[in-house]
Structure 1
Amino acid sequence: MSTHTLPADVAASLEQGLAAMSLPADLAGPLLQYLALLDRWNKTYNLTAIRDPREMVTRHLLDSLAMAPFFSTGTLADLGTGPGLPGIPLAITHPGLQVTLVESNGKKCRFMREAVRKLGLSNARVAESRAEALDEPAAYDNLTARAMDTLAGIIAVGGHLLRPGGRLLAMKGVVPHEEIAALPAGWQVESITPLQVPGLVGERHLVVVGRG
């Protein structure tokens, strides 16, 4: 699907955001292709509550890409990914990162399979499953769950997927002191990094939790 179906100012907004985040300008093409597909499917299947593509640029694409500097290669399980956030933008950004998009909602999985196919993302695959039911123990270097539960809750449903020495990278608003205090034994915070997302109001932090 071509990007001309999006409002005219969407491409410029994305390009400005990529420049502000020091990300390559050539990411705009595939990201806009993904956004156009999401916008089209969303009108019928209600994949995300955000309806305006301009808002999707900030709250979906740029917010996901704020995590990009923390990855390079290896394997990532994106739990409860919905329509593929942040997993698909990260797979676009890092061709050497093998991304598994974990989602139990069938219509969202159908959308992601179409997006992966149309974008030619050979480094992304869809696992239609609840995180706790995914039978791939210790298969991943990294976990993320952008819109899912507390740190302890994420670990409870997806911790088995992470190899020893692996990392959970969790997007949060303010620093979640109570969640950190409630981490189960064997898990510890490695870093807390404030993130700057162009156009996004409010605090954003990436909390990295290690498995000993």
Structure 2
Amino acid sequence: MSEALWQRQLADGLAQMELALDAATQAKLLAFLALLNKWNRAYNLTAVRDPGQMVSRQLLDSLSILPFVSTDHLLDVGAGGGLPGIPLAIVRPDSRFTLLDSNSKKTRFLTQCVLELGLKNVEVIHGRAEQCQPDQPFQQISSRAFTALDNLVAWCGDLLANDGEFLAMKGQFPDDEVSALPGHWQVSQRQSLSVPGADGDRHLLIVRRVTEPQL
């Protein structure tokens, strides 16, 4: 897969998403993709092996939730190969992103990305969500291919501000997972995501605590 084709796929995809990014930002996204492709051969960072699908399924898919990121400090749990955290951090340099993963190989890769790409707004943490102790809870926590919704709220609920929200990225709408949510959590919004070049359904589920009725 030539770099020129990746460039064209990215430019075309961004145009379809009506997302205007300058040439330097696009170049940094492609530099991240090259790192991911290189390290994936040894570290098994992502199941996507076909270079022809990487722009769509890794970069554009990550950026599809950009309109819903409203916080200036987002936690990405189960960050894995840095999706969606690294692409979001590249296009939102004025916001902070904390990437959390319990797999040391994956956090080594993420740390290398931060160094090579000069991402001053990214912190990488190696550890389990249940053991993470941030200085203050997060307003938004993103999750992509990490775990089922009931596990997400159980493991990461203490990391989320009382009025915060999970941004859970899913493929087909997970009816079973929604039904299994504990009673004090609810899907406050469901959004179909359009990802240029990607087959199949993509959904964003925004999960919040149930607000107690006012007496």
Please say whether Structure 1 and Structure 2 have the same fold, judged by a TM-score greater than 0.5.
yes
Q: How does 1:60-99 map to 2 (within 5 A)?
A: 60-99=58-97
SS in 2 for 1:145: strand
Look up the match of 1:192: 190
Residues 140 and 161 of structure 1 are in contact (CA less than 8 Å); yes or no, is this contact kept in structure 2? yes
One-letter amino acid matched to 2:123: R
One-letter amino acid matched to 1:102: L
- 5+ residue gaps, structure 1: none
Residues 81 and 102 of structure 1 are in contact (CA less than 8 Å); yes or no, is this contact kept in structure 2? yes
Alignment deviations for residues 67-116 of structure 1 (CA, whole Å, 9 cap, x no partner): 11111432211111111110001111212321111111111111111111
Alignment deviations for residues 114-150 of structure 1 (CA, whole Å, 9 cap, x no partner): 1112222111110101112212275211111100121
Look up the match of 1:103: 101
Q: In structure 2, what is the Cα distance between the partners aligned to 1:149 and 1:11? A: 32
Residues 72 and 97 of structure 1 are in contact (CA less than 8 Å); yes or no, is this contact kept in structure 2? no
Residues 77 and 100 of structure 1 are in contact (CA less than 8 Å); yes or no, is this contact kept in structure 2? yes
* TM-score normalised over the length of structure 2: 0.90
Residues 138 and 164 of structure 1 are in contact (CA less than 8 Å); yes or no, is this contact kept in structure 2? no
Q: CA deviation at 1:38?
A: 1.3
Q: How does 1:51-200 map to 2 (within 5 A)?
A: 51-136=49-134, 139-200=137-198
* TM-score normalised over the length of structure 1: 0.91
Q: In structure 1, what is the Cα distance between the partners aligned to 2:195 and 2:168? A: 15
Q: In structure 1, what is the Cα distance between the partners aligned to 2:58 and 2:199? A: 14
Look up the match of 1:10: 6
Aligned residues: 208
Residues 6 and 36 of structure 1 are in contact (CA less than 8 Å); yes or no, is this contact kept in structure 2? no
Q: CA deviation at 1:183?
A: 1.6
Superposed CA RMSD: 1.7
Larger displacement relative to structure 2 (54-63 or 128-137): 128-137
One-letter amino acid matched to 2:148: T
Residues 169 and 209 of structure 1 are in contact (CA less than 8 Å); yes or no, is this contact kept in structure 2? yes
Alignment deviations for residues 32-67 of structure 1 (CA, whole Å, 9 cap, x no partner): 010111122223333223223321111111111111
1:25 aligns with 2:21: yes
Residues 137 and 160 of structure 1 are in contact (CA less than 8 Å); yes or no, is this contact kept in structure 2? no
One-letter amino acid matched to 1:64: S
One-letter amino acid matched to 1:85: L
- 5+ residue gaps, structure 2: none
Q: In structure 1, what is the Cα distance between the partners aligned to 2:208 and 2:135? A: 16
SS in 2 for 1:126: strand
Identity in percent: 47
One-letter amino acid matched to 1:60: Q
Q: In structure 2, what is the Cα distance between the partners aligned to 1:113 and 1:12? A: 28
Q: In structure 2, what is the Cα distance between the partners aligned to 1:165 and 1:108? A: 30
